[in-house]
Amino acid sequence: MENIVLIGHGSPKKEANTIGLIGDLLHSAIHPGCGEQCVKVAYLQFAEPGIRETIKECVRGGARRIIVHPFFLNAGMHVTKDIPEVIAEARDMYRDVEFIYTEPLGIHEKLIQVIMERIRSATFESPADIETRSFEIISEEIDLGDVPEEQLPIVKRVIHATADFEFRRSLVFHPDAVRTGIGTIRAGKSILTDIEMVRAGINKKLLARWGGEAVCMITDEEVVRTSEETGMTRSEISIEKGLSGNVGIIAIGNAPTALLKAVELLAKAPADRPLPLIVGVPVGFVKALESKALLAAQRFPFITNLSRKGGTPVAVAIVNALLKMAEGSGE
């Protein structure tokens, strides 16, 4: 068994001792999905755990090979003397354990990239600057060349909202989805949401330019009463009630039951009736993927993602992307 130990200097200021976050990121990078504590952290001084304590924990856990990395920029006294002395003690104590001591961060070309990124970030003075740079980073880190042009602003905004490139593969669009979404916005129709958080995240300033509004019926007194009387969820009842209005987009980011109800109602609608776009991206382990798979099989316009992931940020990102596209500003 092998353990990796990251060693930071440590600070009397508690909030400055964040090497644990680096350890978590390293563990995720080299052992994705692993539930063991393969990567551990220690501090030279001012903070716990110390190096000796961490090495002892590794040995007790069965480690027979311990890789020690000094998370320092330069090879000063701590790196060349203090830490090696502790490792030498450990070698004498645990003779059946192999110890490997790496170089510090030192001079590396990738550090230059980090510095350049910090410099660019420091020059951003407005949220718009940050957003622009974020979209540039997305384009640099993933090839979106095969994404249809009309879908590209939506895919990029979802990735921007979630920092999750998986949505590049999991987002699914009905052929008429984007055209329908933009058309209903420009027609001044409303956007019906399953929960208040989705409604709150929608760019109402852009929506109001066309005369539409964002609506959520989940706290409506009649909806609450009907839910108590029937045992149905408020979200599905609110969708049914809300559809009686002038709705052009149904945005569901939380409740699979709301999505199932929306699919049921639109599937029964007359074939010659213009139907709203369903943005159905509920998140979760129960019925979320199943409801989205059902949506993806429908003939009416939809945007969804075939995975357990989703939620309010995804639903809001899709709707806001459509609003920007309706305005003609793309991203």
Question: What's the CA gap between 83 and 139, in Å, rounded?
Answer: 42
Half-sphere exposure of residue 276: CA atoms within 13 angstroms, side-chain side:
27
* DSSP sequence for 217-240: -TT-HHHHHHHHHH---HHHHHHH
- Of the candidates 27, 69, 160, 174, the residue annotated as catalytic is 160
Give me the half-sphere count of Cα atoms (radius 13 Å) on the Cβ side of residue 304.
30
Upstream peptide bond of 148 is cis (omega within 30 degrees of 0): no
Reference 317, options 203, 217, 214, 189; nearest CA is: 203
The H or E element containing residue 185 is: helix 177-186
108 catalytic per annotation = no
Active site residues per annotation: 160
